[in-house]
Structure 1
């Protein structure tokens, strides 16, 4: 005897879904100010977790002491340098932005072109011919775009209060994650397993590998190269060394390398007649410019190999979307998504390399999907 199936209560289902959606939106709204700081802290903790465990063994198994040391290291390595860099960018760029926005910025005379052997005089005359033919008109057309672009970049650094707030949240969440890291990781894996069984657990592990690859292979390498390059600029007396260090950090993150800043600095030192420091910076630049060939492969092997175009897109897109914190969060988000998509795609065998064979197999079936006789 068959029993009649009870019809679903559609209003109840809709109201339940609506209630759950409202609860999720409310929770996200409440934790929105902490999302970026927590994501930044999670990236750092995942990348430096082996260091914490090693410190804990060195400190007689005391987790509290290891967490305290790691928090102090993060404060010294992130908060203080970032605060100094942001202040330097704002202070050093303020006169430039004022000149651009007020309309007092004029094209330079470039008298130093005369010091270039053989072609210097011709370059100087050509430059002034361009100015006489309408250089001021060119500057008037270009100035609005320069002003808008420069103001936008400086504006990203001018939010020093909000940025330092995220730095403080990063320190707080990092300390909490260091203290209860195993429980947090188990809870995340448990939740992923509840959603997608073993596939969800594997997705969490792959995400951890991608985060470590970006943090170690990209961010650490970029910061190391940029800081060492900035030390070289400061020692050799290149002006605006702090601002140039910020530019080097960005260029290293987008995989352009530090030489885009160091080479013009070397040329400037030689043109000013300071050949001794120019040679010192040249030798130092050779070391800094090639060290990523040795550091990055070692660090990336600790995580996962990722396409460089992915890192480039993550850095630029993260900067536009989240400001300076996006330099670190953007590549991580794209790297995690890429690793999960790549793992999902490779769950099935790859297609055959012979397209004719695929077409022949397809022709063996009729429109109903049955094999032809």
Structure 2
């Protein structure tokens, strides 16, 4: 019997096979992403930190003493990120713990005796009578019997505590996996970088590698803009805290700087400080602090930060602003970095198409 070689597949069969292979690969990739979906935020944060610290990694790697010691470099950089995140939290917690006893005594006294109407209420330009009547009806009597506090019963507080504890545990777990992922990325080092560049060239041609580099530059510039602007807002508002007599001005300036690294979060801190001044009866100082804070935040968020990021990524002001705000709205905190990177891709594609 004579065995004939199988006839070559027709062009139509080859197209069907390629389409089936593409569907299979896409299905497997989507399935894998769905399986690891809980860990994607940790991977995303680790990627951001790796991109930002990559120039530092390369500078350390070129030192003679660190040559070839990838594990040591990865350990040092990962530990630095861990301390950078945990140290401010620890300092704030220690400071808050020092005030906890006084806060506990104040709350216990308010539960038993209520909170008297502050002096500043009588000096309000409008609505002083309405505010005073509401305060008298709800807060001057013992808070445990106050109508305003009836909703804060034990079950509500316990439910809030459980929810907060679950969120804190989830954030801690994400942070831990992020550090592990970051260590693995640094440990892979140049091999991982070279693999990604080869994959980009193979998938998208020579422009793919350039596009990947532009996206990394956008993420790095965004982080730089966030940190620089955050520190600047912390210094300017810290000076305002000192000038207006806000207690713990240095600690509050640190908290403000950290909050200011996130778009439009600084007002939460300085408005709280202004409210404290109002309660103390310093209405002019409170108004001055609030006005100064909003001026600083407006200039920083709408002009300084987009300019810093746009100059590094060669993005127009409007695309940077839309990228930061739209990314945060769509993806949450990590979207602050994803947004400008996607705007960079959009800009590159537009330029290439227009040419």
Equivalent of residue 131 in structure 2, options 127, 133, 145: 127
Whether 1:308 aligns to 2:312 is: no
Instruction: Quote how far apart the aligned CAs of 1:114 are.
Output: 3.5
Instruction: Quote how far apart the aligned CAs of 1:312 are.
Output: 1.7
Q: Which residue of 2 aligns with 1:25?
A: 30
Instruction: Quote how far apart the aligned CAs of 1:187 are.
Output: 1.1
Whether 1:188 aligns to 2:172 is: no
Whether 1:111 aligns to 2:124 is: no
Q: How does 1:78-117 map to 2 (within 5 A)?
A: 78-81=85-88, 111-114=118-121, 116=123
Instruction: Quote how far apart the aligned CAs of 1:40 are.
Output: 0.7
Of the structure 1 ranges 199-208 and 292-301, higher mean CA displacement relative to structure 2 is found in 292-301
**What is the SS of the residue equivalent to 1:35?**
helix
> Would you say the 8 A contact 2:222–2:309 is kept in 1?
no
> Would you say the 8 A contact 1:222–1:252 is kept in 2?
yes
Equivalent of residue 338 in structure 1, options 329, 336, 343: 343
**What is the SS of the residue equivalent to 1:23?**
helix
From the superposition, tell whether residues 31 and 175 of structure 1 become closer, same or farther in structure 2 (CA, over 3 Å). same
Q: How does 1:81-230 map to 2 (within 5 A)?
A: 81=88, 111-114=118-121, 116=123, 119=124, 123-128=127-132, 155=163, 158-219=166-227, 221-222=229-230, 225=233
Counterparts of 1:24 and 1:299 in 2: how far apart (Å)? 33
RMSD after superposition: 5.2
Whether 1:76 aligns to 2:80 is: no
Q: Which residue of 2 aligns with 1:98?
A: none
> Would you say the 8 A contact 1:113–1:123 is kept in 2?
no
Task: State TM-score, norm by structure 2.
Answer: 0.63
Counterparts of 1:181 and 1:87 in 2: how far apart (Å)? 37
Counterparts of 1:87 and 1:16 in 2: how far apart (Å)? 57
Whether 1:253 aligns to 2:262 is: yes
Asked which structure has the greater RCO (Cα within 8 Å, sep 6+), the reply is: 1
Q: How does 1:267-278 map to 2 (within 5 A)?
A: 268-269=276-277, 272=280
Q: Which residue of 1 aligns with 2:330?
A: 317
> Would you say the 8 A contact 2:51–2:216 is kept in 1?
yes
Of the structure 1 ranges 208-217 and 244-253, higher mean CA displacement relative to structure 2 is found in 244-253
Instruction: Quote how far apart the aligned CAs of 1:245 are.
Output: 7.3
Unpaired segments of 5 or more residues in structure 1? 96-103, 134-138, 320-326, 351-373
Instruction: Quote how far apart the aligned CAs of 1:125 are.
Output: 0.9
